[in-house]
Structure 1
């Protein structure tokens, strides 16, 4: 008889009960003790076990639909045990020789409790167990004359389970990609990566593919055994019994195809693993540089405007402080770089020429310093330090990186005709101020004709 036909109707009420978590917790605790007591627990032992367990957790037990009024007056451990007995998750067996009432776990309930345990606890990785089972079974098939065709069926079952386990690992990768965008700072992202992905995936699951005791270590022997089994006619005849080896060869083909599928899934996991690592590094770089990088600041601004809608006052303030007409802000080249084809890359290697020296304009654009300060800020840097129309660059002129960058940009601006000032002596002696070294320029007002 199938186990599902033995399940009473009240059994399913656990899943809609308000005390669902307390009942599942109690079942797991009883099942844990059940294994160490020769699968035999008395009612008194169960109550004592649950009392000690609930004393530490202090769960709240609400009134349930299967409970009677006198049940609600009992302690939590007795109430939970009585409910599990009424619902059919546990069963009483009277032992008249010792005059005790024993509690047992029915077979159908044991299947569900095992599922709860797998959901609650992440123990030894199943993939490792399955590959070892397949290895041991095929070894016995090849070397033990007492082995039969049932072992080959067991190897096929383990191969399917190994494929399913690897497929589940692959499908669960998407939740880690989703968490990348949820982290708003570098520390949270690094903690989630180390305690989440590295601990749960790399150390517990991905290790089967990459450590010294990995899948490929077993795969080589298994595939060689399958090939030798196909060619061993005496072995095929003995295993088939009737002399018809077609069924055995078909199962060996299924086993080999299963291992080919495993290799494909592992290759896909390698790709997903590389994609995740690359995405994590990119996200970390963005979180570290979003305060200094032009692209990062633009993304933060656009995210803020899309979230709030942006009032007229905010848009006016933004337009007054940002020069959004710069080509490297609004052109697609600054946010997307077209990838060259393989042919273009090959031709570039053939016709490689010496890279010309960059001009001052190109150097400033590459360093992204020019876009950090507006023309008005640079002019204000010079004007605020002028006395009688002159500004002499001294050791006190530069106090931080911002002043140093503004001084460089100020000299670049002075070479243009539109500038309000010019440099009087371009060959001035250098000035050293801590880590900064720069020429001792003298800026004067430009005369207008």
Structure 2
């Protein structure tokens, strides 16, 4: 909290400023140049860096609360640099020997700029760095006689940071569940899943925990070393003697226990991430299947009906209209089968067995229900199939109409579509003759538009 006392009040004006994004980008550019500087950055170098940035971006800078009318006449680079100096994000250091003005980044501003960099960058996840640091530190404590208690404290700090990073990763997975219901089309949801969840979570974060170079590769060695160090009483006494803060052997053992408990928490968090990942995948597949089959799937139609009833002004009237239009003739809805039947004995079961019947030829509806061909073609594709083969508003099925299995499936789906109430087409002759072209056998159907008859 010492750095908090050094921050000036006008420092926080950046977050209220209308030019906030411009100031943050300018700070990131100066910080990038600052990292490669051997000493200070001169004012001229800072202006040159900002001028190159403004030439590329062509940004508009609005008048800020710390500026006056004279500042508006300055070039964008000088104007932004002056504002950052006034607000305390940068500080001037006058070098009277060389007669130059140097620019430095205060310690408190460096912390904030580092946060801006993490928020805007797409770098590798920090979980891999933390686990490798812990591994290297405990290896040094095990094999290097010069290692002291400070390394053990650093290992504990990295363990806490690794736990925090995994906890943030776990909590941030929730936002992808909300995006599932926001997508109304199959393609939009698939794009959100592949470019959002797979790219941001699976490849950059979750994948790191599951590849060959993962957490479990280091965990076993780390736990084994912690156990051996805890059992080595002489090593713990030596660590306490080296410490300048009068640390006892019991304190060293407690620190090792804390690191071990931290790794137990890490395993629990990874287990929870596995559960969340599996839950999200199941929810995504269910949502994709719903968007793909919502017009033919009973559950999808029921959901659409309930959503419609929740939006209308008069639900009672809407329920009455829906009841008059519903078709309850399918056996999938009306059935005399009870939910539970008492199990019969083995002898009664054998008596009720009947000989196997010879298989009968399936109807078109049975073929559709067994093979789920409906999922392969959308309603627009079936309408396009009929429309493309119409001549003078009529599609006549002949011997040369069907040549491939796809065309045969589309013909079956076209007939299935034509008998629906909301279909744009219908079959003119409901008792047509059969056509046999050598490969397929099908009725000689004639499709016409409903509004033309």
- TM-score, normalised to structure 1's length? 0.75
Which consecutive unaligned segments of at least 5 residues does structure 2 have?
375-397, 402-407, 421-430, 445-453
1:260 aligns with 2:271: no
Tell me how far apart the structure 2 counterparts of residues 70 and 99 of structure 1 sit (CA, whole Å): 26
Classify the secondary structure of the residue corresponding to 1:291: coil
CA–CA distance in structure 2, aligned partners of residues 322 and 433 of structure 1: 40
Corresponding residue of 1:375: none
**For each residue in 1:317-374, what CA deviation from the matched residue of structure 2 results, as whole angstroms up to 9, or x when unmatched?**
655543258685599x9xxx99xxxxx9xx99xx99999889999x9699399xx9xx
1:381-406 Cα deviation digits (max 9, x unpaired): xxxxxxxxxxxxx989x982246659
For structure 1, which segment, 130-139 or 42-51, has the greater mean C-alpha deviation from structure 2 after superposition? 42-51
What is the CA–CA distance in structure 2 between the aligned matches of 1:109 and 1:330, rounded to whole Å? 71
Query: How far apart in 2 are the matches of 1:62 and 1:36?
Result: 31
CA deviation vs aligned residue, 1:96-116 (integer Å, no higher than 9, x gap): 122111111011110111111
Structure 1 residue 233, shift from structure 2 partner = 2.0
Distance 1:286 1:437 in 2: 34
Deviation at residue 435 of structure 1 after TM alignment: 7.5
Superposed CA offset, 1:182-230 (max 9, x none): 1111111111111111111111101221100000000000000011111
Q: Give the stretch that moved more between structures: 168-177 or 180-189.
A: 180-189
Q: How far apart are 1:302 and its partner, in Å?
A: 3.0
Q: Are 2:147 and 1:147 equivalent residues in the alignment? A: yes
Seen in structure 2, the aligned counterparts of structure 1 residues 146 and 330 have a Cα distance that, compared at 3 Å, is: farther
| Counterparts of residues 378-389 of structure 1 (less than 5 Å) | none
- TM-aligned CA deviation for residue 18 of structure 1: 1.3
Q: 1:126 to 1:149 in 2, by over 3 A?
A: same
Aligned to 1:163: 163
Matched pairs, number: 386
Q: 2 CA distance for matches of 1:279 and 1:193?
A: 11
- Among candidates 280, 283, 286, match of residue 282 of structure 1: 286
Tell me if structure 2 keeps the 8 A contact 1:127–1:166. Answer: yes
Residue of structure 1 in register with 2:411 after alignment = 400
Q: Distance in 2 between matches of 1:112 and 1:225?
A: 37
| Structure 1 unaligned regions, length at least 5 | 339-343, 373-393, 410-422, 424-428, 441-449
Distance 1:305 1:408, change over 3 A: closer
For the residue of structure 2 that corresponds to 1:400, the secondary structure is helix
What whole-Å deviation, never above 9, does each CA across 1:222-249 have from its counterpart, x for those lacking one? Answer: 0000111111122112111179411111
Q: 1:105-157: CA deviations, max 9, x gaps?
A: 01111011111111111312111110000000000001000000111111000
Does structure 2 conserve the Cα–Cα contact (< 8 Å) formed by 1:3 and 1:108? yes
Deviation at 1:407, TM superposition (A): 12
Partners of 2:226 and 2:316 in 1: how far apart? 74
The whole-number CA distance in structure 2 between the counterparts of 1:430 and 1:55 is 75
Q: Is the 8 A contact 2:312 2:318 kept in 1?
A: no
- Find the counterpart in structure 1 of residue 275 from structure 2: 271
Tell me which residue corresponds to 2:65: 65
CA RMSD of aligned residues (A): 4.0
The alpha-carbon distance between structure 1 residues 252 and 435, as it changes in their structure 2 partners (threshold 3 A), is farther
1-structure distance, mates of 2:93, 2:174: 48
Q: Which moved more, 1:309-318 or 1:165-174?
A: 309-318
Structure 2 CA distance for partners of 1:102 and 1:289, relative to 1, 3 Å: same
1:105 aligns with 2:109: no
Give the structure 1 partner of residue 192 of structure 2: 192
Residues 50-79 of structure 1, C-alpha deviations (whole Å, 9 max, x = no match):
111012112221111111221111111111
Aligned pair in 2 of structure 1 residues 19, 439: CA closer, same or farther (>3 Å)?
Answer: closer
Return 24-33 or 429-438, whichever deviates more. Answer: 429-438
* 8 A contact 1:430–1:439 mirrored in 2: yes
1:183/1:439 Cα in 2 relative to 1: closer, same or farther (>3 Å)?
closer
Q: Are the equivalent residues in 1 in contact too, given 2:89–2:106 (CA < 8 A)?
A: yes
**Counterparts of 2:65 and 2:353 in 1: how far apart (Å)?**
84
Change in Cα spacing, 1:266 to 1:70, as seen in structure 2 (3 Å) is: same
Q: Deviations over 1:396-446 (max 9, x none)?
A: 9x982246659999xxxxxxxxxxxxx9xxxxx986468865799xxxxxx
Q: Distance in 2 between matches of 1:181 and 1:266?
A: 26
Task: Give the secondary-structure state (helix, strand or coil) at the position aligned to 1:101.
Answer: strand
Task: State the TM-score, normalized to the length of structure 2.
Answer: 0.75
Which residue matches 1:367?
Answer: 369
